[in-house]
Amino acid sequence: MTGRRIALAAAVLLVSGVARSAQPPASITISGGVSLGSYEAGLIYYVVEAMRLNPAAARPKIVTGASAGSVNGFMAILQSCGGAVPDPTASLVWNAWIPLGLGKLHVPGQAQKTSAFSRAAFDAPLELIVRTWNAGLPESCDAVFGLSVTRLVPRVVTTEGERLRLPRVEEHFVVRVQGRGPGKAPRLTNYVDPRWKGEQALLPEQQDGEVVFSALVDALFASTAFPGAFPPQAVRHCVVRAGSSGARCPVADAREDLFVDGGVFDNTPVRLATRIAAAGLREDRGAGPRWMDAPDLTVRDLPPSLVLAYLSTEASTFPEPTNEPRAKKFETLLGVTTQVGGAFLATARAKNLLYVHDDSPDVFEHLIIPERHLPAASSPLGAFFGFVEGELRRFDFTLGMYDARRLAEARLGARLARAGAPPPRFPEDTPAAREAAAAWRRYVCLRAVMDGAPEPKEACAGEELRDFRIVLQTSIERLWNACAVLKDDTYDGDALCRRARRGEPVMQVPLVEPLAGDAWRRRGEENDAAYSMRLLAAHQFEFKDLGLRRDEASKAPATLRARFLSIGDSVAATQPTGQDLVVSTLVKMAADQVAYVPPRFTIWAMYGRDPEIGISKGFATRGVYVAPLRFHAALQLVGSEQLLSSEHGNFIMGVVAGAEYLPSWWSSTRLQPSLLLRGGWLFSSNDGGGFGKCPDPGSDVIGDCSRPTIQGGVAAAVLERVRLQLTANWYPPAGSGQKNQWALGPGIGVQWGF
């Protein structure tokens, strides 16, 4: 790559030289992010509107995406080709993401065998996209869109003569979007090289060569079908080589296969973007960039003025929570296997970006990558947390706009200043945006707090912003917690992180009461989801989507856990016998990341010295919690070995009842230790259960005579399925001539919670 290419690529956010008469081309790649798609949506909205306002800004010519990034990428093309949208809440990206909560993702009674959530949740966003598509785009709109998908069942790639058979799961679809004016749906075609000898995946085409729009919609669904969360999506397509059907995919020839989330094996399709841009994008002096009718995949040199941007949910100016493996973890078979599996998945998702790093390090080093300046509200629970409450998604959308503004100030402003051009214009400063001031209030509040405005209280005032202020405060607290423990100045470029590392008090959002002492700090083994929920509850966030009042905020963790368990139970009920237990256990482990609440009722069967069948009953408190002190009862068989042999003996049955102490704060899904104290009576057949005369009161054999028993001990349930128990049993005399007796009662068995 030439020095001129590097200088132009590094210059500004989607901006190239201002001296050119035509807008330079831009390539935008958007990674997956589950509910962090709302953060990406905010970035996209602001970037597109900023490009529209600044003639020197680059224009998106190719957009690629994976998972949530594929949907956001397609909407980015629609927004960039359409008219200005001064009200962010009226934008396509806002209305696609903000309504998308748990209540729509999972409808009770409509569980599916292959997923927890339903595709029907996307019907409303899809309708918005289809409506925008059918409304038409201007004839000046000419962009290429690419997305990644993952095959559920690998297809086999063979060499000549089938000497080698290779499985392939990763696929890409690339289409060209050309506007035809208002009221006419754009022209949609496969962007394919008819001379390329390798394989290319195509979507079904009508006789006129246009791609069936519903096929692209299916591909978008497939790219976002996160395994387990959403069902696999069938996509009709063709895989062609040069000379086969002229690199065409007639509807009649298309085959149907199942696909899942494209982010599984290509979450960063930057390489796809650079390959297509090199193959098909050409620049004419004065006329600007244009797409060739068909790409030439043998060409690998990028257009000189192309600007590459990568919108990721992972780049940040502060340290994110990580699960760095400890050396001790590698000392077991399970530890090594888990580490290898996790590393494989993480590397597979990022491998195509790493290929860019290896093949074109100059391109990699000059990718324009926006950075997050605060933890995203949606990031816990594997980025599914944003689906819990609408205000979390609204905050992340706003944070995306703020981060886009920061990048535009640093890159675009500096470039224009050096060129002697007027300063950049920003979307919130237009007269139309001022008329929609109410829609910008969250953004204005966030900027006022983060940038140290003189009157942040005025910017953030109002009951309608109360929950937004709380989410903003918890995000600042999470950043403070991450930075306060740093030992070096690696992240001191971020002003807030530097202040936290130096031990300054947590920055406070106006009108939000600070937490007492160091309650803002993350506790011991507290995971990110539990930590975030605790902070939100402590600030009395109103969990509207969970149906809780503000004064019930402390119930939110347990209520959310119950919601997840309900989803898990409905999915488990659709599974074959045996698999339902596995599904419910896995869902419970995930739900307990938010908060652990012991089962209200448990039953077990245990074998040991004295086999027993027992129950434990907890009592609900505040509707969703379970009191630590529980009722406990069991039916025991003493001397049961005599029932399994010809050995002569009597039958002894024990009935015990008492209390079990099982507090949630020392328990988790993996292990639930408890203390128990119980008493009862041993019924021996020798003396009619104590109603007759014992033939040998002085016998040392426990159970020769009926007598009371007092037992104390410990128990532990593993995954709430395997119960381990050890009791110390005392058998005081109940009649003349009887002696004190004792025993230790170890046991192991199965347990079930309800």
Q: Which residue has the tokens 């000046």?
A: 140
Annotated active-site residue 261? The verdict is yes
DSSP 8-state secondary structure symbol assigned to residue 57: B
Separation in Å, CA 124 to CA 96, 152, 439: 8, 26, 21
How many of the other CB atoms lie within 10 Å of CB of 544? 14
Residue 485 makes CB contacts below 8 A (sequence gap 6+) with none
- Is residue 510 within 8 A of residue 469, CB to CB? The reply is yes
Structure tokens given for 407 = 């990048």
708: burial class by Cβ within 10 Å (0-12, 13-18, 19+)? middle
Closest CA to 408 of 418, 399, 397, 416: 416
- H/E stretch holding 219 reads helix 213-223
Closest CA to 701 of 745, 650, 654: 650
Cα separation, 361 vs 354, whole angstroms: 9
- Is residue 8 within 8 A of residue 307, CB to CB? The reply is yes
346: burial class by Cβ within 10 Å (0-12, 13-18, 19+)? exposed
Separation in Å, CA 22 to CA 6, 78, 494, 533: 19, 20, 36, 50
Q: What are phi and psi of 275, to 5 degrees?
A: -65, -45
Residue 708 makes CB contacts below 8 A (sequence gap 6+) with 679, 680, 681, 682, 731, 732, 734
- Is residue 509 within 8 A of residue 472, CB to CB? The reply is yes
Helices marked H in 54-205: 68-81, 92-97, 102-105, 123-135
Annotated active-site residue 67? The verdict is yes
Burial string for 607-620 (b: 16+ CB within 10 Å, else e) reads ebbbbbebebebee
Q: Are strands 629-638 and 620-621 parallel, antiparallel or unpaired?
A: unpaired
Helices marked H in 527-673: 528-538, 556-572, 579-591
193, 257, 261, 396: the active-site residue: 261
- Is residue 583 within 8 A of residue 572, CB to CB? The reply is yes
DSSP 8-state secondary structure symbol assigned to residue 374: S
- Is residue 474 within 8 A of residue 462, CB to CB? The reply is no
Closest CA to 677 of 664, 655, 660, 689: 660
- Is residue 500 within 8 A of residue 484, CB to CB? The reply is yes
Burial string for 93-113 (b: 16+ CB within 10 Å, else e) reads bbebbbebbbbbbbeeeebee
DSSP 8-state secondary structure symbol assigned to residue 578: T
Structure tokens given for 734 = 């109940």
Cα separation, 460 vs 78, whole angstroms: 32
Residue 654 makes CB contacts below 8 A (sequence gap 6+) with 610, 612, 634, 635, 636, 637, 638, 680, 681, 682, 683, 709
- Is residue 586 within 8 A of residue 567, CB to CB? The reply is no
Going through 418-467 in order, the beta strands assigned E by DSSP cover none
Burial string for 1-18 (b: 16+ CB within 10 Å, else e) reads eeeebeebbbbbbbbbeb
Structure tokens given for 398 = 């706003």
Which residues participate in catalysis according to the annotation? Answer: 67, 261
